[in-house]
Amino acid sequence: MCLECGCNHPVPFGVKVLSVIAPGLLKPRVPDGPHTIEVHASLLAQNDDAAARNRARFASHGMLALNLLSSPGAGKTTLLSRTVDVFGHEQRCAVLVGDLETDNDARRIHRPHLPVVQITTGTACHLDAEMIARGLDTLSLDGVRVMFIENVGNLVCPAAFDLGETKRVVLLSATEGEDKPLKYPPIFKSADLVLLTKIDVADALGFDIATAVENIRRIAPQAELIQLSARSGEGMDEWHDFLRHHLPV
Amino acid sequence: MNLSRRSARPVLSTHNVHEVGIMESALALVARHAAGHGDRRVSRVVLRIGALAGVEIESLCFAFGVVSRGTVAEGADFEIEEVPVAVYCHGCHLEFAVETGGFIFTCPNCGDLCGEIRRGRELELSRIEMT
């Protein structure tokens, strides 16, 4: 009789010998019957491990790392361009910018004094921690105090992916609805700072700033809130103060 | 439950791409555990997903059907345990569960808005069953 399953298949001579001299070798390696394996493992473990390595790397350079998230067109690139033009002369900054395709944003942000790397994700709807690690490998990090990471424009998927950032910044622009925080709660709930951007055009668009602020407060009570316009400069001092305040000592 | 969760055939969008990536991670874990048990056929895969995990349940189910093809989990039952949100109020030192359907978390004791989320972001492979 077969040793594996008890069927009537004839047993080869070699197996008969083995069953006498080393029976342990022929025992089934797995128990029979239905079997439940309790796994309880995070599906993002690989990303979270890479994020922890990034976080340690930022810390070892004494660097503040910010993950900027918003819908497409909320003003991340314009904000960064204006920030590096002013604050970038006070503290050395660098930028990692993610998009599905093109290096347009990296070219918009590029300045002689500023290391910038464009990460094109292809079809991926968010940056992940390993993309950031590869991006960091290509940058000269000497003396950099603030690393801006401009995420792919998307209010859904990037929320789940820790990049190793020190602070998470979510932008809501006056060209969007005041109820965006109510429609996309997870990302606003993960924010350390919410920036209400393009407030210079709020009146013209009929955007009610008070309602937007109230919605942000209700969805994201944990977050700081700054209203600004990168174009007019209003609120930019407060944003720069936020950066100074969170620089590692 | 909203309309998009009820729709029978989810539209393939960037949103689904996200769920496909999550499912690839889940099935890689399933395959690793199955390999440690003689590559037996997997009959059930159970995930734990928090209400704030940022993934769409319907899209995950769709992704399971697509990504599991040709793997040890092809044809397996797919189950999701949804984890409700639990929030902490610092003023009252009180942890409270949040009923589904809203994302504005106010303390049932003092009425303050609370931002410290204790549970509800889970994205886990809970267990697998094999025949």
Looking at every residue in chain A, the average pLDDT score rounds to 89
**Structural domain contains residue A85:** yes
Least confident segment among A185-189, B12-16, B98-102, B108-112: B12-16
Whether A9 and A61 share a structural domain: no
Question: CATH number, domain at A99?
Answer: 3.40.50.300
Cβ-based neighbour number of residue B11 at 10 Å: 10
**Structural domain contains residue B67:** yes
Res A29 pLDDT > 60: no
Whether A2 and A119 share a structural domain: no
Least confident segment among A21-35, A39-53, A185-199, A206-220: A21-35
**Structural domain contains residue B95:** no
- Residues on chain A bordering chain B, Cβ-to-Cβ distance under 8 angstroms: 28-30, 34-44, 46, 123-126, 154, 156-157, 159-160, 182, 185-187, 189, 217-223
Res B7 pLDDT > 70: no
CA A48-A100-A179 angle, 5° bins: 80
Per the structure, the complete domain to which residue A77 belongs is given by 55-245
Number of structural domains (chain A) is 2
**Structural domain contains residue A41:** no
**Structural domain contains residue B110:** no
Helix (H) or strand (E) run with residue A35 in it = strand A35-42
A188 in Cβ contact with A223 (< 8 Å)? yes
Q: Which residues of chain A neighbour B129 with C-beta distances below 8 Å?
A: 34-37
Whether A13 and A112 share a structural domain: no
Contact B131 A34 (CB under 8 A): yes
Q: Which residue's entry shows tokens 């921690």?
A: A129
pLDDT band at residue B21 under the 50/70/90 scheme: confident
Residues across chain B:
131
Whether A59 and A24 share a structural domain: no
Residue A122 dihedral angles phi and psi, to the nearest 5°: 70, -110
**Structural domain contains residue B94:** no
Write down the pLDDT at residue B2: 36
Res B107 pLDDT > 50: yes
Write down the pLDDT at residue A24: 53
Q: How far is CA A102 from CA A97, A117, A154, A155, A207, in A?
A: 11, 12, 16, 20, 31
Write down the pLDDT at residue B100: 65
- Residues on chain B bordering chain A, Cβ-to-Cβ distance under 8 angstroms: 14-15, 17-18, 21-22, 25-26, 29, 33, 37-38, 40, 43, 47-48, 52-55, 103-105, 113-117, 121, 123-131
Question: Measured between CA atoms, how close is A114 to chain B, in angstroms?
Answer: 32
**Structural domain contains residue B93:** no
Catalogue the E-assigned strands of chain B.
42-50, 77-83, 86-89, 94-97, 116-119, 123-130
pLDDT band at residue B3 under the 50/70/90 scheme: very low
Query: Burial letters for A101-117: b for 16+ Cβ neighbours within 10 Å, e otherwise?
Result: eeeebbeebeeeebbbb
Cα(B97)–Cα(B120) distance, integer angstroms: 10
Write down the pLDDT at residue B19: 87
Question: Measured between CA atoms, how close is B66 to chain A, in angstroms?
Answer: 17
Cβ-based neighbour number of residue A89 at 10 Å: 11
What tens digit of pLDDT does each residue of A74-107 get? 999 999 999 999 999 999 999 999 999 999 999 9
Contact A156 B37 (CB under 8 A): no
Contact A187 B54 (CB under 8 A): yes
Number of structural domains (chain B) is 1
Select the residue from A36, A37, A183 to test the B interface by mutation, using most B Cβ atoms within 10 A.
Answer: A37
Nearest to A123 among B15, B17, B37 (CB): B17
The DSSP-derived string for A172-209 is EETTS-TTHHHHSHHHHHT-SEEEEE-GGGHHHHT--H
Contact A124 B17 (CB under 8 A): yes
**Structural domain contains residue B92:** no
What tens digit of pLDDT does each residue of A196-208 get? 999 999 999 999 9
**Structural domain contains residue A134:** yes
The sign of the CA dihedral B52, B55, B59, B64 is negative
**Structural domain contains residue A219:** yes
Helix (H) or strand (E) run with residue A37 in it = strand A35-42
What tens digit of pLDDT does each residue of A152-184 get? 999 988 998 999 999 999 999 999 999 999 999
Contact B37 A37 (CB under 8 A): yes
**Structural domain contains residue A12:** yes
How many cross-chain Cβ pairs, A to B, lie less than 8 Å apart? 100
Nearest to A39 among B15, B123, B125 (CB): B125
Residue B34 DSSP symbol: H
Whether A63 and A166 share a structural domain: yes
> Residue A167 half-sphere exposure, CB side, CA atoms within 13 Å?
22
Q: Which residues of chain B neighbour A156 with C-beta distances below 8 Å?
A: 15, 18, 54
Question: CATH number, domain at B37?
Answer: 3.30.2320.50
Contact A160 B55 (CB under 8 A): yes
Whether A78 and A119 share a structural domain: yes
Res A41 pLDDT > 70: yes
Contact A39 B25 (CB under 8 A): no
Write down the pLDDT at residue B55: 87
Q: Is ipTM beyond 0.85? A: no
Whether A114 and A1 share a structural domain: no
**Structural domain contains residue B16:** yes
**Structural domain contains residue A39:** no
- Listed in sequence order, the DSSP H helices in chain B are 3-6, 14-35, 57-67
| Mean pLDDT of all residues in A56-73 | 97
Cα(A20)–Cα(A13) distance, integer angstroms: 11
Write down the pLDDT at residue A124: 82
What tens digit of pLDDT does each residue of A225-245 get? 999 999 999 999 999 999 999
Per the structure, the complete domain to which residue B23 belongs is given by 3-84+120-130
A146 in Cβ contact with B39 (< 8 Å)? no
Whether A141 and A68 share a structural domain: yes
Res A1 pLDDT > 50: no
**Structural domain contains residue B61:** yes
Cα(B68)–Cα(A6) distance, integer angstroms: 32
